[in-house]
A and B are shown apart, each in its own frame.
Chain A
């Protein structure tokens, strides 16, 4: 008996099960509406000693099929999501850093663009992700390097049901938006197969009041006698996104498991004209097409006191961008290609990870991984001295990273972890990157806990930073950072109906040699190491979960962050007004709240997100276009589930931007007002049974 309990304890310790595995998938329609599985308070997993982590449960990820990870981050965390429009580029940044300082891992494989360094979260459907979590600041170093702001971990996991399952959801919404989602799964005690398909399309021509333009009313003599801001439609904003995720998992024996993940993205998106454009949209094509395949083969061995993982991956991405203008309204008019790019990226990935439990109090984790990128970036064709030539570059590099982390849980009052990470690419080596994390209980009953971390971090220039033609700067230095965090966490326990959980963290980080692209008189942009940034602040989170009898459930997730992010570099000159000022596009205050109420087969989700004023100028100057107003948006979803004899049905209605707020996240990029979507989901009952 004692032995088996120890085994379970070791298993929990190795898996870190408490948060991430807490909730079950909920797209099946015949169960009681889940709100949140209440966490059992216990020993914090060894792997999470000192780690500041925000985990998103499956309720959040599966709220509806039109949700992207950008939406999830927007409404459920305090990190800043920069939307360039609906279904348009959306980036995320932690703690006043840039989007390229956010490392994104999908099933452990980095998916940041090796050319741009950042990730477009609008391209990741939330229903394709089973577990998502954020590692804030220093907490990311134990998992990946380069996350000067932090890391976003996205993962899928094998189904838990046996037999055949099917779930199909169809959505229809404003602006002729159609969404489709299908998941078919088959599994037994050994095999699990899952296929997910999603397709979304819309002309995306939402209306907005264009305050950056004026329409004039003229009299007969062409004198202006009236004026008004026109109501315009989002022009050139159509999109068609297709995603396919095929997964297979086989349990070879009690200890070993093989997994395969294949994720294909086929996207065809127009890039909307901004609010100041007077271009004739009918003569313009401004379009981005993407084909990306991410594949991952993994082997995992889990023994009583150790876990080994080996992964091999390959990513292919073809990104085509065309900006063309027909010179007149004539059908046969000359077409000018203003921009044309064809970017091909091949990435090979290999990783070996090991975890060894050295008694009850020690855990050793090692990680060795490498990425090899081969890139062909082709720009438009120019008639050169030798005839037509294509602008662009070919580049390749091998990036590698090795780390070891030793964690020691001395007592419930004190646990500590030390990570040593070494990274490099080609012949470049980073200095040793250390990260020290620690935590412990403050109260005997475990309801209050402290946490601290200290780390150094690096981020290498991207391939575009170094080699882009024209403008790439091969002399760039890596960005370098130091940061520390201090935090407390609490979680109430032993209460029958309501569980409260929260955290409050202070962080302080310095980033040197921040890379910034700027224009030149030659007509192109070039990057330089120009800034030194100091960001600090508070991050807080609160979760309340209530189970009020069998019928009622409710939960509230709220977050708030105060993030001064200041330029502390050397002034360009005595006239430089940017020193000591908040970085552009970094709100000082961010907040979010998600309220979920369930009553029998009804569920109500209300989400709210707030961003304070963002400066568009590094000087925080008082120009009219120098800042963007604070805004908050709200989404409301009502769901009803029906259980028929042969199937489960789910009917959802979602209202986005409930209060019809007129806002922009980015200058000249309008967001839609109130709009809605309806979803109908069906889950046939084929007698599948959930694995106990």
Chain B
């Protein structure tokens, strides 16, 4: 497969779009958890019950003729190749849990991959919308509209006092998880991130690295999301998150400014060296690739590097994950082979920039 064709097939529109504040905010994501009345939740339900839920959902799909669920693709997990599932996970369109553990799990995916509805994950239904940049309200409005459409045909488990009843009590109420993915190299370099995380937590928001394990945030990419789902309206939850995120954006901007002012030449050196590594390496591990991509993206944002598109970070962070690399290679790869393949893919991708 040629790289261009692979990219055309692999890159979701929201990876390329440049939403508001997209120099720092990569994506905004909304997730709504919903369950059906009179069916045990997927975590304990029997095979037959899970099947019934799936059939109920599937029977309703033809009725969803409104944009944007028209022409959506229905993917049953049991019919997908492991590699295909892994790619969907790496794109954040389905959860690892749905891919590996669900029984009668499925996903309804809109053509533009903005909406994905998971069936029989931890909850019967999970509606997810991803937008580029800071567009929490837009993503919520879409998810909300999808929810309204589904509710016309499905009986939700809802209580006046508790709200939407979910499998896990951490989602009860609105069932809403709003999250924003942010690129914060300035705050990491100036050592401010470590202090910032506890104070964001105190405000009721979770911070985690979205790539990499544990507390490590590969590529200086962090995800901020609400923890509380009960007692506030959806609008309040989103507004509160937006306010926190906007403050972090301000702090990241001023951190970048102060680095440029006080250590401009060192930063420029770091950025160009990283571009050199990406352009020339023959073997590259995930961690090093993520670090270099973060540096190059920062260099583009600041204006040191021209002629390379901004979305290279978003795109390559996703495409250099094991599942994608193996899909590109057309078969399974051992870890060392992946590192070679990763280096090749990055080099070819950068060459594509020059030609265009």
Partners in one complex: no
| B residues whose Cβ falls under 8 Å from a Cβ of A | none
| A residues whose Cβ falls under 8 Å from a Cβ of B | none
